[in-house]
Structure 1
Amino acid sequence: MKIAYVLKMFPRFSQTFVLNEILAHEEAGWPLEIVSLRLPDDVRFHESVARVSSKVHRIPKPSGKAAPLLNQVHETEAVLPGSLRVVAKNPTVTASDMEQALALALLIHRRGITHMHAHFGTVGTTTARLAAQMAGISYSFTAHAKDIFHQTVDADVLRAKLCDAARVITVSKYNVDYLCRHYPEASDRLVHIDNGLPLDEFPYQDPADRQPLIFAVGRLVEKKGFEFLLRACAALRDEGLDFRCQIAGGGTLMASLRALVAELGLDNHVALMGPQPQGVIRRKLHEAAVLAAPCIVAEDQDRDGLPTILLEAMAMGTPCVSTDVTGIPEILDHELTGLAVGQRDVEGLALACRKLLEDSALRVRLARNARAQIESRFDIRKNAGRIRDMVENIRQGAATPP
């Protein structure tokens, strides 16, 4: 058995959960290869990328021209007869995706790949699905959030991917329930497997004595809700509270958030740090009294599935404040493992942050409960093992998901 992970881009700075999963498979001795459909577009990489030992293949960028596509069709058809029928049966697939699928089919055939797994039900799964049909092997994928909920998701296209996959992992019970309601014909393929962390890399420290620091991490995009965190910080400042807020991450809203910091007069309280490596993130988590994740459902219906930073903060003993978006309530139980507030609720967010900044005993109680939950549910070695068991069941032709 030889497995390929098919990814839109590898490595990718924002997708530590994929990296953790790959490293856990390698540690277990799983025969794994990685296929990247795009060249990395960022010069920043997490230190742990250097530990990846699996061979990484890069499928050539599609030319967008007819002649290379036709050449790829003829080359693949000569080795994998029937590939042309797959092309003909999928007329709505873009020429670029089809060209890469044809090249991927040849690659996995020549490398002896017996199963492919993709992350996100977008281009990686599009390409893996077509290549699997051409090469006559199985595929699975992990559905996260944007690939399920965003307003640009084509329901018919996603349905085909779900129904053709041998299994579909998703990262929360919320996602499973949503997909079962909207795509009932694929319900028997759905498997809930939590993302995980290498817990030894996220050591717990009791938060009894922490700096008056509110820390937040994420891409600067609408669904992260950082506008509301800034407004909550303004409310805390107006109450005379002594605190700082640091937000790590880059994105399309950097300029507008900087402008809001200036507009609210928060220059002495808030720092937009830009993207930061894992070492800095972990150090800040051990310093902070609060991890704020004020997630929202964006106007275009984009949303988080289950933010990895919540898992990391809970593992390291940093009390969390977050909202009710998708799978977050499955890990953040109000007053038990964190504090929950409403989406866009500036007053509630400010109050929750203030409680954690001022109440050491509350911080410790929430943090200990949260760490126990992380240990029981989010150990990457256990959860990656469930993925390997799933693939083994696929190989053996098991009729139902594990």
Structure 2
Amino acid sequence: MPPRRKILVVLKGYPRLSETFIAQELLGLEKAGFDLTLISMRRPTDKKRHPVHDEIRARVVYLPEYLHEEPIRVLKGLIAGLSKPGFKALMKRFLADLKRDVSRNRFRRLGQALVLGREWPDEGEWLHAHFIHTPASVTEYASILTGTPWTCSAHAKDIWTSPDWELNEKLGSARWTVTCTRTGYDHMRTLTSRKEAVHLSYHGLDLARFGHFAGERSDRTGSDPDDPAFILSVGRAVEKKGYDVLLRALALLPADLQWRMDHIGGGEELAKLKAMANELGISGRIVWKGAMAQEDVLDHYRRADLFALACRIAANGDRDGLPNVLVEASSQRLVCLSTEVSGVPELLKNGENGLVVPPDDPTKLAEALEAAIRDPALRKRLGDAAEHQVRQYFDYHSSIRQLTGLFEAEWQKAS
């Protein structure tokens, strides 16, 4: 087996509570023997960390988040870049991109790539980007500048909000690209002639962290005002999560149905959603808990009666891939209600191991919520089937084995 090379992993921000699936993958690669250095384009803003972040040994290097904040560092990157063999090719590519995307963001990615090219931490021998939008731009520019090969993990928003021309360019120059849903995989394969270089790789879960829950689920039916059914939702308060749809669905539930909901997560739309809940007359039944550590989220999965996430396609095309929280909740025998968006149907089959309704349809969502609340036996049957699905097909070790094979195949070619 050839020696494993030093990989510089380019991330938009690190660490992030909402991207534990990435941290889990990084830890898995370290355990598989890979030597990583993390290159973050932004500094962390979350006040809490997940336990997995503390287990990752890789050093973190932060690029200038805004070029004007570290002008000397950027200038040194530019001066050093002038003497590199790939500088002319980089500028040619940058100018071609700039014609199609005239933005400050484009200049920022160039500046960050030049800084990375000059500082080049830990003698990196390979570049890997998480997300095919801005992190892949920095990574590809650094690859052109230095001649270092690069690969990419694409996810959800980054695929669906990137223009086709840019995806085509990046898919053409990356050695390979993996993505975590069948819909993203199929879409990217339509945009490149190198279809063999696009791979489907579900993130999965570290099932050691989400062990089997052997406790009893409640038999609540929503009939007892003193013991209402417990609905849980975990996700950022952003358009694609569909929380306005969920609130409208909750407001449509029959008056005699007793329920309460906890929401876990941050997001820019929290204030608007709280105001909406108040207008709908349901604010007294909802607790907005903000971001929480993973162990606290796990405790909520185990105490809840059902999990709801009303995924939708946002106006700008942004959408989820396969939300990791649905996999997490399913692993705990918690029945999930969600929508027919992106990779959700790849995990949940309506009436088999979950309840799945059309997006942006509060009425259908309310009907599914009521059915699950009133029928504990249904919740148990679907929850048990969901756990079986996760433990059979969504173990993250499968993804790590696949990534290991992809990296090693490239390095064998180069040896």
Q: Normalised by the size of structure 1, how large is the TM-score?
A: 0.92
Offset of residue 66 of structure 1? 8.1
Aligned equivalent of 1:187: 195
Tell me if structure 2 keeps the 8 A contact 1:293–1:323: yes
Tell me if structure 2 keeps the 8 A contact 1:207–1:318: no
1:258-337 residue pairs with structure 2 within 5 A? 258-337=274-353
Counterpart CA distance in 2 for 1:358 and 1:49 is 40
Counterpart CA distance in 2 for 1:89 and 1:242 is 60
Offset of residue 61 of structure 1? 3.8
Root-mean-square deviation over aligned CA pairs: 2.0
Q: Is 2:172 the partner of 1:163?
A: yes
Q: Is 2:204 the partner of 1:196?
A: yes
Aligned equivalent of 1:226: 243
Question: Residue type of the partner of 1:273?
Answer: K
Tell me if structure 2 keeps the 8 A contact 1:208–1:361: no
Cα offsets for 1:308-352 (capped at 9, x unmatched): 100100111111011110111111111111111111222221221
Q: Is 2:111 the partner of 1:99?
A: yes
Aligned equivalent of 2:12: 8
Question: Residue type of the partner of 2:137?
Answer: T
Cα offsets for 1:145-165 (capped at 9, x unmatched): 211212xx2322221111111
Q: Secondary structure in 2 aligned to 1:204?
A: coil
Offset of residue 67 of structure 1? 7.5
Cα offsets for 1:227-285 (capped at 9, x unmatched): 1211221222x331111111111212111111111111113312222222212211110
Tell me if structure 1 keeps the 8 A contact 2:77–2:117: no
Match of 1:50 among 28, 34, 54: 54
Question: Residue type of the partner of 2:319?
Answer: R
1:95-174 residue pairs with structure 2 within 5 A? 95-108=107-120, 111-150=122-161, 153-174=162-183
Q: Secondary structure in 2 aligned to 1:333?
A: coil
Match of 2:93 among 89, 92, 97: 89
Q: Secondary structure in 2 aligned to 1:185?
A: coil
Tell me if structure 2 keeps the 8 A contact 1:318–1:367: yes
Counterpart CA distance in 2 for 1:296 and 1:19 is 25
Offset of residue 74 of structure 1? 2.4
Aligned equivalent of 1:76: 81
Q: Is 2:389 the partner of 1:373?
A: yes
Offset of residue 199 of structure 1? 0.3
Counterpart CA distance in 2 for 1:155 and 1:321 is 32
**How many residue pairs end up in the alignment?**
392
Question: Residue type of the partner of 1:232?
Answer: A
Counterpart CA distance in 1 for 2:72 and 2:338 is 51
Change over 3 Å in CA distance of 1:33–1:40 after alignment to 2: same
Q: Secondary structure in 2 aligned to 1:141?
A: strand
Aligned equivalent of 2:226: none
Aligned equivalent of 1:387: 403
Q: Secondary structure in 2 aligned to 1:197?
A: coil
Q: Is 2:67 the partner of 1:63?
A: yes
Cα offsets for 1:122-165 (capped at 9, x unmatched): 22111111111222221111111211212xx2322221111111
Greater mean alpha carbon deviation, residues 117-126 or residues 200-209: 200-209
Tell me if structure 2 keeps the 8 A contact 1:233–1:350: yes
Tell me if structure 2 keeps the 8 A contact 1:146–1:304: yes
Offset of residue 95 of structure 1? 2.7
Tell me if structure 2 keeps the 8 A contact 1:342–1:348: yes
Greater mean alpha carbon deviation, residues 280-289 or residues 46-55: 46-55
Offset of residue 207 of structure 1? 7.4
Counterpart CA distance in 2 for 1:309 and 1:54 is 25
Counterpart CA distance in 2 for 1:374 and 1:380 is 10
Q: Normalised by the size of structure 2, how large is the TM-score?
A: 0.89
Change over 3 Å in CA distance of 1:69–1:47 after alignment to 2: closer
1:242-261 residue pairs with structure 2 within 5 A? 242-261=258-277
Question: Residue type of the partner of 1:104?
Answer: L
Counterpart CA distance in 2 for 1:265 and 1:297 is 27
Counterpart CA distance in 1 for 2:118 and 2:330 is 43
Tell me if structure 2 keeps the 8 A contact 1:12–1:40: yes
Match of 2:233 among 202, 209, 216: 216
Question: Residue type of the partner of 2:77?
Answer: Q
Q: Is 2:408 the partner of 1:396?
A: no
Change over 3 Å in CA distance of 1:229–1:247 after alignment to 2: same
Counterpart CA distance in 1 for 2:186 and 2:53 is 34
Question: Residue type of the partner of 1:187?
Answer: K
Q: Secondary structure in 2 aligned to 1:199?
A: coil
Offset of residue 377 of structure 1? 2.0
The answer for unaligned runs of 5 or more in structure 1 is none
1:331-346 residue pairs with structure 2 within 5 A? 331-346=347-362
Q: Secondary structure in 2 aligned to 1:240?
A: coil
Offset of residue 96 of structure 1? 2.0
Tell me if structure 1 keeps the 8 A contact 2:23–2:53: yes
Greater mean alpha carbon deviation, residues 358-367 or residues 226-235: 358-367
Match of 1:360 among 356, 362, 376: 376
Offset of residue 84 of structure 1? 3.9
Tell me if structure 2 keeps the 8 A contact 1:207–1:289: no
Counterpart CA distance in 1 for 2:332 and 2:316 is 33
Counterpart CA distance in 2 for 1:391 and 1:356 is 44
